[in-house]
Structure 1
Amino acid sequence: MKIIASIIVVLLLLSGGALWFLAGGSLNDYIKTQIETVGTEITEQAVTVKAVDIKITSGAGSILGINLANPKTYSQPNAFALGEMTLDINLESLTSSPIIIDAIVIKSPQAFVEFTQTGGSNIQDLLDAIERNTPKSDTAATTEEPVNDGDEPRIKVSKIVLVGTALTLDLSAFGNKEHSATLPDIILNNVGGDAGLPASQLGSEIAKQALSHIWKQAKATQKQKLIDSAKDKLKEKAKKKLTDLFG
């Protein structure tokens, strides 16, 4: 029973839940509610989940159809969406600290990035909200000594992979247009550090790191698209000038 309870704790970490018990009802429904409730509090935008399918006996499971709404000042309905998140729990670590998740794989992620004329974006607004609403913690802790956080377990994730994020980049604020691209796989290693992170804070840390990587790649894509657009305009002007000169 202790092992089952520990697995439940690990499964709840993605929602950042601080409750380590089930008050009756379905485990899947409980986790779904926690992800939506805590995710909304941290990002200040609506978080919805289609379904949760947890296989306790094998220490694995999946979370399906997670959507993160856009701040209301932007046109796209969502800032981020994913088809499926799967996790692989290291069962041997359940009796030690930190508890280890060997891998989280995020399949079919979609990011909708909208820039403003001042250089801001919906992703930056979400990162700012996460920073405001996340308790300060020793996220970079690397000591091998366990840290005392009361009864709350500490968790580390060895690897998180966002597979081929589909990026929609809206540059209309710069007189440009909407672009589509597929980002290289995003790999996050050793999330939580060697000492792990309090389970109630790990969900927001994962969101922050994932969105930060998407934001970095989106800015690089933005720069290249604007450069390409400027080159195309110069080519059109040169072509028009030659036509005017030589007919």
Structure 2
Amino acid sequence: MKILASIVVVILLLCGGALWFLAGGSLNELIKAQIESQGKALTEQTVTVDTVDIQLTKGAGSILGIKLPNPSKYTYPNAFTLGEVTLDINLEATKTDHVVLDAIIINSPKAFVQLTENGNANIKELMDTIEKNMPKSEKSSETKPQGSSIDPLVTINKLVLADTALTVDLTALGNKEHSATLPNITLTKVGGDAGIPASQVGGVIAKEMLSEIWRQTKKVQKEKIKEKATEELKEKAKKKLSELFN
């Protein structure tokens, strides 16, 4: 039963799906297909995954090469790529109706943020799209059959984005492209002690990640625009001095 519980945990966490996976087939391929399917439903972009490797007996797994494309009007092909996502499932704390993950570690993600002339950005558009398409909370206890675990609650004790490579394109604002490596971003108790429905986990994680990336982008944007303004003032002062002494 512990192995079966692990399968349910992973499928429900990543896919927000039901128990039809028991009909057979490759678990890793099923998870890969469902991440891509649910990712497209949330973001309205063709999300792709390279490989999935779930080790059920260890309560662990990894997902490699997740890519989230940009809306078509942006020049960068992807808004976000994830090198490796590792899962640490707390089998002891997990119950039929409440899944607990000790950690989700996202290693070496790459974020490509492109701002437009009016101050909009690809990341902001994707955040709005995810918000629009996220499953809405329901009074599941009133609608689900007794004993059903189709959409259990999920708590993530720690969600980490490690070594995020951020590219910010400010050319539309008269600046240029900038690169930065962000300090590790750590979010705790995603879903709280009570948990959130498994069908909402993917959207919540995506929103949390993109919101933090957007916050960091605004910080980089402010710093770079300030630097450019300072450089322009120095150049004007230098030119003025040159005119005075020539």
| TM-score for both structures, normalised by structure 2 | 0.92
Distance 2:30 2:168 in 1: 35
Residue 70 (str. 1) matches residue 79 (str. 2): no
CA shift digits 1:100-121 (9 cap, x unpaired): 0000000011100011111110
What is the aligned partner in structure 1 of residue 182 from structure 2?
Answer: 183
- CA drift of 1:97 comes to 4.2
> Which residue identity does 1:187 align to in structure 2?
T
Q: Is the 8 A contact 1:62 1:84 kept in 2?
A: yes
What is the aligned partner in structure 2 of residue 116 from structure 1?
Answer: 116
What is the aligned partner in structure 2 of residue 171 from structure 1?
Answer: 170
- CA drift of 1:96 comes to 5.3
What is the aligned partner in structure 2 of residue 143 from structure 1?
Answer: none
Per the alignment, in what secondary structure is the counterpart of residue 82 of structure 2?
Answer: strand
* Structure 2 counterparts to residues 35-46 of structure 1, below 5 A: 35-46=35-46
Q: Is the 8 A contact 2:164 2:183 kept in 1?
A: yes
Distance 1:103 1:15 in 2: 14
Distance 2:180 2:12 in 1: 31
Identity %: 56
- CA drift of 1:73 comes to 0.8
What is the aligned partner in structure 2 of residue 49 from structure 1?
Answer: 49
Structure 2 gap ranges (5+): none
What is the aligned partner in structure 2 of residue 160 from structure 1?
Answer: 159
Distance 2:13 2:70 in 1: 20
Residue 86 (str. 1) matches residue 71 (str. 2): no
What is the aligned partner in structure 2 of residue 237 from structure 1?
Answer: 236
Q: Is the 8 A contact 1:14 1:35 kept in 2?
A: no
Distance 1:95 1:196 in 2: 12
Instruction: Check 1:41–1:53 CA distance in 2 against 1; reply closer, same or farther (3 A cut).
Output: same
Q: Is the 8 A contact 2:13 2:154 kept in 1?
A: no
Q: Is the 8 A contact 1:15 1:36 kept in 2?
A: no
- Aligned alpha-carbon RMSD (Å): 1.6
> Which residue identity does 1:105 align to in structure 2?
I
- CA drift of 1:136 comes to 2.4
Structure 1 gap ranges (5+): 139-146
What is the aligned partner in structure 2 of residue 212 from structure 1?
Answer: 211
